[in-house]
Structure 1
Amino acid sequence: MKHYLFLFALVCFAFGVNVPPIYGQSPWVAPQNGPNFVWGGNYFNTIISSPQPNMLAGRVYFFASRAGSNCNAFVTTDNGITWQQQVIASTVRVLPGFSEVGTYAVDMFMLDGQHMWLLSRDAATNAQSLLRTTTGLAGLVALPNPPPASFSHIHFFNPNVGLALANAPLRIFRTVDGGSTWNLLPNVTLTGSLALYPFTTFQGASNTVWIFTDNAMLRTTDAGLTWTTATIPNGFQTVAFENTLQGLGYTDASVRELFRTTDGGLTWTRVPNGSQPTSTSITAMPNQPGTYLRVGYTGIFALTRDGGNTWQTMSTDGSNFYMVAASSPSHIWAGSYEWGSSSRPGPPLLRYVGTALATKKSATPALSILVYPNPSTGLVQLAGPLTGKETARVYDVAGQLCQQGFVSDAQRTLDLSAQAPGLYLLKLTAPDGTIRTQRLSKLP
């Protein structure tokens, strides 16, 4: 990427205005100490997601008709206390003809604060590259082998196993070595046209992901080894799942309608609550059963606690909402967009600081700590809140202590390489005595 630094310098010259800190008197504000985006005029859109607890990952695409484009990536793993930020792609227009040179960011997936992949395309040749890092945004490096097809979207379950989608014809590829090589899945068929953002999952989903087209759905719960397919009522504009079974899908193909599934997307039932407000994004609130958030380009922000039957409007303002995500029940984020219609566009990334959202306690709350990859051949990562230095103990099925160490925010890796293949129990003990457990599977 170093040979494109001169392009970035030119783009900074063309786009060099900082984002304003607050957007009017709305309950949505630019996060304090948040990313300082390189401004790109009145054309941008912001994509965000929360793949792990307390994590927000995203990117902002900026466009200027006669200057080019750039893409800012950002990530926090502590609900916005600290951030990583990097310009991951940029182009400039050159004379004659204003042709573009540089790179576009086709897609990006951030698994955690260290493991990330960037699908990049050369603006002049259309050649694709896949970049990977295990040390955070600043460490992205192109892999030696180019993608075997024209990929459009990527998704990873752990540092090794991932999926890629290719168009014309629609195909699914799978990798087990972090993207270095890819194999076509020959017996998996996609029909129709891919949704704008075809991969859908939920926070901490591990090996589960859905792929949506305008007429069908594919689902895997074992990281792409086996698949289930089903037809869908309409092409969903946005889909959200709270677990492997319950989810909502919104469509405005002919009329605005909301659909619910309770079987992982195999069947969908229309939610009978009248006309739906225009929505661009729906997301599930982590660890709050039946609780979803929705936003729309009209500035609406709404909440449901009963699986979509009723909605409470939390705010209506001038924000052009594009996506919504929740890194925790008390940390709500929105990505905005602007397409040249405003003389004063708002910040690309917003945080909700309005009325506190009442929580709904789960009778069987999900674990707030996640371990991945699981199963693992050795190294595993911890995702979720840690309280200071916690003691990590690993027990076998007979209850014998196999290894012991410490984990913290600065050290989230456990090495199980010395353990024999089999099932284990990880027990984390915090300084205040709080104990959390997670089952582990060690592979040969």
Structure 2
Amino acid sequence: MKTLRIAALAAGVLLATSQLLPAHAAGASGGHRPSYQWELTPTGSTSQFRGLAAVNKDVAWVAGSAGQVLRTTNGGKAWQNVSPPGAETLLFRDVEAFDARRAVVLAIGPGEDSRVYRTENGGRSWTETFRNTDPNAFYDCLDFNNSRHGLALSDPVDGKFRIAETSNGGKSWQIQSTKGMPAALPGEFAFAASGTCLVAGPGRTAWFATGGADRPRVFRTVDGGRTWKVSDSPMASGPAAGIFSLAFRGPLYGVAVGGDFEKPDQAVKAASVTYDGGRTWRLVPAEQAPKGYRSGSAFVPGTLATVVAVGPSGSDVSLNGGHSWTQFSDANFDSVECAGHGPQAGCWASGAKGAVGRLTR
């Protein structure tokens, strides 16, 4: 099933939530076309960039096929090829950057194809800091709570999802015991689609999302990944369906997007929201959901509850925390990430054929 998936993919707490985000909040999406749009920033690459790290409006990193990693420090006017040497056969699917110089990239695949590289000098040199030696493990995504603590997620091994942890910014990784991990469902896995199948929150909180089984689920931890609780989701699931991306604002309010990547133009139970840190999820009705399968999502900095979701058939925005969505672009992107504060805040998207865009309005 994992082989099928690779082939298919390759071709603070808010204020009182009930007060802040009512089901039909004023200013909800719909009624007018949002003014957001993507400004393309040519990269000169033909790689598919599913890995994306936004630092601010000027600095971003992308990572993708053919072992390629690019970096910009001038808002996308120019991109530098800073790929790790000898990585041409690897599939990079996630990158997490702390600033313009420090970044960690994840290569996916079975066995030793799953690796982590780290740079401290803007990609002039890289150190391989993790190589998976278990032929049954397959790492999908990683994320950091801060510049030191991070987690990487593997599909189930011996019936349980596996977590690797770092406490030194990715310089070294330790495989965690699965004693505190609930059992996986038959056929359950995570999607290495945009680097957001696992997301880290404040403190030691983190969540990861799944698909592939008879129902999608969201796992959550509050102790840095040592113990996990799991909740069912009302979204679609199946061999090519599930939750592809999570986005959280603070420890309680979150959005999940996904659907069925074999039906990219259909919103097949494609979005849901949570008010309680992922313990329960509310399905977004089809008429208010994103207009197709979506693989990436992110909250927009400087807004109260604006969320952007991207996928191969277009991009959608929600102005009310994910309750309703409006498509604003038909551009093909796989990943979206936002970062920065005030005038330095920015959102980026990346995808096939070297495409990278900056969100403008």
TM range (shorter): 0.5 to 0.7
Cα gap change, 1:283 to 1:32, in 2 (>3 Å): same
- Counterpart mapping for 1:31-430 below 5 A: 31-35=34-38, 84-89=39-44, 103-106=46-49, 107-119=51-63, 129-143=68-82, 147-150=85-88, 151-153=90-92, 154-166=95-107, 168-185=112-129, 189=132, 191=134, 192-196=136-140, 198-201=141-144, 205-215=146-156, 216-230=162-176, 231=178, 233-234=183-184, 235-237=189-191, 238-256=197-215, 257-271=217-231, 276-278=234-236, 279-287=242-250, 289-297=251-259, 298-317=268-287, 319-322=291-294, 323-328=296-301, 329-338=304-313, 348-353=314-319, 383-385=340-342, 409=343
Is the partner of 1:138 in helix, strand or coil?
coil
Preserved CA contact (<8 Å) 1:129 1:146: yes
Cα gap change, 1:146 to 1:384, in 2 (>3 Å): closer
Q: Deviations over 1:371-408 (max 9, x none)?
A: xxxxxxxxxxx9312xxxxxxxxxxxxxxxxxxxxxxx
Cα gap change, 1:207 to 1:115, in 2 (>3 Å): farther
Structure 1: distance between partners of 2:31 and 2:99: 33
Is the partner of 1:137 in helix, strand or coil?
coil
Q: Which residue of 2 aligns with 1:418?
A: none
Alpha-carbon shift at residue 111 of structure 1 (Å): 2.2
Structure 2: distance between partners of 1:309 and 1:255: 19
Structure 2: distance between partners of 1:306 and 1:146: 40
Q: Pairwise CA RMSD of aligned residues? A: 3.5
Alpha-carbon shift at residue 181 of structure 1 (Å): 0.8
Q: Which runs of 5+ in 1 are unaligned?
A: 1-24, 36-83, 91-102, 339-347, 358-381, 386-408, 412-444
Preserved CA contact (<8 Å) 2:199 2:207: yes
Preserved CA contact (<8 Å) 2:118 2:171: no
Alpha-carbon shift at residue 218 of structure 1 (Å): 1.4
Preserved CA contact (<8 Å) 1:246 1:264: yes
Preserved CA contact (<8 Å) 1:303 1:312: yes
Q: Which runs of 5+ in 2 are unaligned?
A: 1-27, 157-161, 192-196, 237-241, 260-267, 324-338, 346-361
Is the partner of 1:285 in helix, strand or coil?
strand
Structure number with higher relative contact order (C-alpha < 8 Å, ≥ 6 residues apart): 2
Structure 2: distance between partners of 1:282 and 1:171: 21
Preserved CA contact (<8 Å) 1:115 1:135: yes
Q: Deviations over 1:210-246 (max 9, x none)?
A: 2212132212243113434224544334333322422
Structure 1: distance between partners of 2:277 and 2:283: 15
Preserved CA contact (<8 Å) 1:28 1:350: no
Structure with greater strand share of residues: 1
Structure 1: distance between partners of 2:340 and 2:208: 28
Cα gap change, 1:254 to 1:310, in 2 (>3 Å): closer
Cα gap change, 1:185 to 1:250, in 2 (>3 Å): closer
Cα gap change, 1:184 to 1:269, in 2 (>3 Å): same
Structure 2: distance between partners of 1:252 and 1:410: 35
Structure 2: distance between partners of 1:356 and 1:120: 28
Is the partner of 2:77 in helix, strand or coil?
helix
Structure 2: distance between partners of 1:410 and 1:333: 18
Q: Which residue of 1 aligns with 2:265?
A: none
The structure number with the bigger radius of gyration is 1
Structure 1: distance between partners of 2:249 and 2:43: 29
Q: Deviations over 1:140-186 (max 9, x none)?
A: 1334x762323432332222222233454433222211111112226
Preserved CA contact (<8 Å) 2:306 2:320: no
Identity %: 20
The AA in structure 2 aligned to 1:305 is: Y
Structure 2: distance between partners of 1:259 and 1:214: 13
Alpha-carbon shift at residue 129 of structure 1 (Å): 4.9
TM-score normalized by the length of structure 2: 0.59
Preserved CA contact (<8 Å) 2:55 2:340: no
